[in-house]
Amino acid sequence: MFSITGNAANEIGPINAFLNHNIKLTLNGNLLTLKDSEGTALAPVIINGNSYLPTKAIGEALGARVQWNESSKTISITNSGNGSVKQVSQNEILDKVAEVKSKLSLGMTKAEVIAFFNENYKVINDNGDLENGSSEHWIFNFFVSPGYSRNNISDHVIDEEGLKNRNVGVSLYIGWMDDKVHLFTIAYPEGDKVYLFIKNPDGTTSSNPVNSDKAVDKNSREDSAELQLQDMLVLILLPHMKEKLAEVYSDVISIPPVVYPDSVNVKSIERVAAFRGFDFLITIDAQPVVGPHIPVGEDVLTYRISSAGVELKNFEHLRGPDKEDFLPNYQNLLK
C-alpha cells in the first residue's frame, strides 16, 4: 500500500497540459482502454513532454483499489496484498472472444488484422499444420500473466494448462494463405473446461470442449534429467514414428497424420542386455492428428535402439479414426 498526500503549503496552481487521444496503452501485451466512472474513455495527459495517466483508472486496471480521502486530501492505492495483477475475469474472457469473432473474418489481410487487434503476435515456425492448407501461422495471446511461458509445448498445441489456470485468457490462432486469413481458432477457458472455436476455410464454424485426454504424463509438471532424456529419445524416434504412421493411416485418410512430440508418452524403457549394455527397448504411445488438431487415432510402438540403429519391433493400433471427431469440411480426408 502507498499513499500520495497533498501539501497544504503548496497551493493548487495552473499548468499547461494536453490530452493525446492517439496514445495507446497496453497491459501485458493487451490493448487497454481506461474509462471513468461514467464509462467515458480517458486519454493520457501530456505535461512538459511527460505522459500522465489517471490514478483511479490505471490502478483499477492493475487490480488495485483506489480511494480518495477528502479530509486529508489523500489518494490511497491498495494492491491485492502480493503485488500481483488481478486474474482476468470470466466476463473479460468472453468479451474478448466475442470481440475477436466480430472483428476477424476470412480473407482479411495481415495489415487489417494487426490494425484491429494492435497486439503482439508470434509467427509459428514449426509448420505443424501445413496439412490444413495454410502456408503461415500466427498466434495471439490475450490476458497473459506477467512472466508466464508455455510449459515446453509446441505453439500449435493448445495450452490447456495455461488457459485453465487463467495464465492465458484467450489464444487466437490464425492460418494464412496468400497473406489472407485462411482459417482461425479461438481457445478460451469457461468454467473448468477449455473450449475451442473454429472458423473453417469454407466459413463453417464449430465450438466444443477440448479433449484433455492427451498422451502425457500428468505427474510430469517439473523438468528433470529423466524427462529431458525421454524427450530427446522422442525427438530421435519422431521421424520413424511419422513414417510408420503415414503408412498405417494411408488406407483410411488421404493425408499423412502429424505427430507432435508433446503428444507422445513414453510408456516404458527396458535395457535388453546386461548392466551397461547399450541395447534398449522403448515403448511409446502416440496420438496423431490432422487439420485443426483432429485426433485420428492412438497407437503403441516399440522400438529397439542399439549400436545397429533403430528398429521397430512391435506396433499396435488401439483406436481410430472416428468419423465423429472430424468436422464436416474435413470428413473428405477419410477414405
Name the residue among 330, 332, 321 with its Cα closest to residue 299: 321
Q: Find the mean pLDDT for residues 31-39.
A: 69
Give the helix ranges, DSSP H, for 14-62: 55-61
pLDDT tens figures, 62-100: 766 676 666 677 777 766 555 455 678 888 899 999 999
pLDDT at position 118 is 67
Report d(CA 44, CA 28) in Å as an integer: 18
Report d(CA 143, CA 165) in Å as an integer: 12
Buried b / exposed e across 7-33, counting CB within 10 Å, b at 16+?
eeeeeeeeeeeeeeeeeebeebebeee
pLDDT at position 271 is 85
Residue whose C-alpha cell reads 534429467 in the numeric block: 225
Burial of 172 (0-12, 13-18, 19+ CB in 10 A): buried
pLDDT at position 211 is 62
How far is CA 26 from its chain centroid?
A: 19
Which residues are CB-contacts of 208 (< 8 A; sequence separation ≥ 6)?
195, 196
Between 218 and 280, residue with greater pLDDT: 280
**Position 242 confidence tier, pLDDT thresholds 50, 70, 90:** very high
Asked whether 218 and 285 are in contact (CB, 8 A), the reply is: no
Name the residue among 295, 293, 299, 288 with its Cα closest to residue 323: 295
Report d(CA 27, CA 145) in Å as an integer: 10
Q: Could you tell me the three cell numbers for 258?
A: 502429424
Percentage of the chain beyond pLDDT 70 is: 79
Asked whether 33 and 41 are in contact (CB, 8 A), the reply is: yes
Tell me the one-letter amino acid at 233.
L
How far is CA 307 from its chain centroid?
A: 40
Please give the angle made by the CA atoms of 52, 58 and 60, to the nearest 5 degrees: 160
Sketch the domain layout of the chain as residue ranges.
2-78, 90-209, 225-333
Name the residue among 107, 118, 88 with its Cα closest to residue 174: 107
Helix, strand or coil, per DSSP, at residue 161 = helix
| Least confident residue range of 44-48, 84-88, 96-100, 105-109 | 84-88
Query: 99-108, 216-225, 255-264 — which one is most confidently predicted on average?
Result: 99-108
Helix 110-117 to helix 90-103 angle (10° resolution) is 150
Percentage of the chain beyond pLDDT 90 is: 23
pLDDT tens figures, 253-298: 988 998 888 788 888 888 887 777 788 899 999 989 887 778 888 9
Ordered DSSP codes for 216-256: S-TT--S--HHHHHHHHHHHHHHHHHHHHHHHHHTTTBSS-
Report d(CA 118, CA 89) in Å as an integer: 21
Other beta carbons within 10 Å of 279: 14
| Least confident residue range of 11-15, 89-93, 120-124, 136-140 | 11-15
